[in-house]
Structure 1
């Protein structure tokens, strides 16, 4: 990483850390972009160059683990897709650092603030779309292929369940161990897939 990139990374980190502290201390609505710029000791132009809106700023740390498509593309091409997807989920939690509980506090703020909560859903949908593209590339199938779509949906569902599982309990087990245990359990299931109705007694809805 060059000196310019290193400086940009540090500035971005400083802005995010400052913003999260303000959001936690005084709430989302009460915190302004001007306050963040002043406390982070950067100009408003610099702040808006990194984060065009306040909702993107509060969601920055929460959305980093969602980049499953990028994590999948980093896996070796010869690796089985199921293994690569499990590794991508692991990688997503490797970038999640909540040792001080700040992200949990921020997530509580987002859950109670309509604008960032809605944006979070939009960003999650974008992340899932990127995951579908990465899976399609690995499978050699179109993005709209049903197997690609279902694989992406299932992977994202596992990602969310892994997050809930890793955040539950007494935290004696590491996050990595929690994810591994979940993946092992899921791979023992005999999956139930919805089947079409059949038989003479089937009641079909009227058009």
Structure 2
């Protein structure tokens, strides 16, 4: 976990960021080891040396401990879609490429097999835990709303315009394509050589379908 201060970050902000990251990382490790339903928030708090109230000061729910890190994606999507020099599809593909590069970089360490296994177990845990799956689905809905609002500002349309809504949903759907492709390729022999190219090819195939429809 990085402990250096970020540009313009005060000591107080740095301490809060590091505590938030510690709580999230500790929770993820405990959930993966024992199961999401078997671990109480109080146990995560105890492992981090803080009170349960402190945990809820940082995260609104137990599910958010694990999935709240998706929140920056919503903000990044809104920012990217506001860029007039690129199309909405290009902006979305750029974000996906950055996220893929960061994820694949996590598999480049000495314990590559362990990192791959943990990533696959993380995805399986979300799919098999009703509370996490529901929270993840709700986050996806928030991404669609954020994307639709950004497109409305870009085009001058209404946020509830049917064409903008379906466009936003289609763009956000590319995250599912990328996640599914990544897990599929990793679940083979665990070899990450050429992983970026393989996943990118799958995403671009899906994007080509969208491009034909959106251009129409």
* Interval containing the TM-score (normalised by the shorter chain): 0.7 to 0.9
Distance 2:180 2:203 in 1: 13
SS at match of 2:192: coil
1:10-36 alpha-carbon deviations (Å, 9 max, x no partner): 111111111111111211122111110
| TM-score, normalised relative to structure 2 | 0.74
| TM-score, normalised relative to structure 1 | 0.77
Structure having the higher Rg: 1
Shift of 1:39: 0.5
Superposition CA RMSD, Å: 2.7
- Gaps of at least 5 residues in structure 2 are 1-8, 108-114, 186-190
Q: Which is helix-richer, 1 or 2? A: 2
Distance 2:166 2:60 in 1: 33
Distance 1:137 1:16 in 2: 34
How many residues align? The count is: 190
Distance 1:6 1:122 in 2: 29
Match of 2:3 in 1: none
1:142-192 alpha-carbon deviations (Å, 9 max, x no partner): 1122221121121122221122123322432243x3454235434555857
Match of 1:171 in 2: 192
8 Å contact 1:72–1:88 — kept in the other structure? no
Distance 1:36 1:91 in 2: 31
8 Å contact 1:64–1:95 — kept in the other structure? no
Distance 2:154 2:203 in 1: 20
Pairing partner for 1:21 from 23, 29, 52: 29
